[in-house]
């Protein structure tokens, strides 16, 4: 079901300017050990639709890989241990990363001590942005492309009672999602070969660690 929801979305060959694309990480970032979580997924208190979906995708894929459920917390929560910063938040701004510094669909995977940053330019759910009019060639309104789903049910899990999740619209900026899918593939070994669960390949390992260099798409 994953790729029906997100594909993952086509990784557009756009990138960021002015940010080094290769910075060596200080150490290995341990996300899970013996099927237990060692890291937290951090978003803004009101994340963009792209960041909200990206956080859930990381959580669900890491669970399938390791058996560990990484908690998703907001940036005002005290955090111990490793952290995956998803989308712009107070935590990313402390490191100098802001979503609006990116061009449309640009993204960055950045490694810092005990931290991975997954960020790009995202469409923000504001009253002004909701009022933006437009009509794609297919005839629908822009808001019609922002579909709502029950995430757990879409993954074949028991209903969790949460309200529907609004997906990023087809024409919305969603750089954080692009960073997330690239991270899962490049550093966690996930492969998507088709729309069915049978076509999704994940390593099975209780201990999941990541280490690498900053990666921008495309490199500046």
Average pLDDT over residues 48-57: 96
**What is the per-residue burial (b if ≥16 Cβ within 10 Å, else e) of 182-193?**
bbbeebbebebe
Where exactly are the structural domains of the chain? 2-217
Q: Can you give the pLDDT at residue 122?
A: 96
150-198: pLDDT as tens digits? 898 888 777 888 889 988 988 899 999 999 999 999 999 999 998 788 8
**What is the per-residue burial (b if ≥16 Cβ within 10 Å, else e) of 87-106?**
bbbebbeeeebebebbeebb
Q: Can you give the pLDDT at residue 95?
A: 96
May I ask the CATH class of domain 2-217?
alpha beta
The token duo for 82 is 């490793």
Q: Can you give the pLDDT at residue 179?
A: 97
59-72: pLDDT as tens digits? 999 999 999 999 99
Q: Quick one: 76 exposed, middle or buried, by C-beta within 10 A (0-12, 13-18, 19+)? A: exposed
- pTM, 2 dp: 0.83
Average pLDDT over residues 19-41: 77
């Amino acid at each position: 079901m994953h790729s029906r929801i997100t594909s993952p979305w086509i990784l557009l060959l756009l990138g960021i300017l002015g940010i080094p694309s290769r910075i060596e990480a200080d150490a290995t970032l341990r996300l899970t050990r013996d099927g237990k979580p060692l890291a937290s997924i951090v978003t803004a208190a009101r994340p963009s639709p792209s960041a909200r979906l990206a956080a859930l995708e990381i959580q669900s894929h890491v669970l399938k890989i390791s058996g560990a459920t990484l908690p998703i917390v907001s940036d005002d929560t005290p955090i111990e241990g490793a952290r995956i910063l998803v989308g712009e938040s107070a935590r990313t701004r402390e490191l100098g990363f802001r979503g609006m510094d990116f061009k449309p669909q640009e993204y960055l995977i950045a490694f810092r001590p005990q931290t991975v940053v997954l960020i790009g330019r995202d469409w923000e759910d504001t009253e002004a942005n909701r009022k933006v009019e437009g009509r794609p060639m297919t005839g629908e309104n822009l808001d019609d492309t922002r579909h709502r789903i029950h995430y757990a049910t879409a993954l074949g899990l028991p209903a969790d009672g949460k309200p529907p999740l609004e997906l990023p619209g087809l024409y919305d900026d969603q750089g954080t999602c692009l960073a997330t899918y690239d991270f899962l593939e490049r550093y966690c070994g996930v492969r998507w070969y088709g729309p069915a669960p049978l076509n999704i390949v994940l390593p099975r390992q209780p201990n999941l660690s990541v280490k690498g260099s900053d990666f921008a798409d495309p490199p500046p």
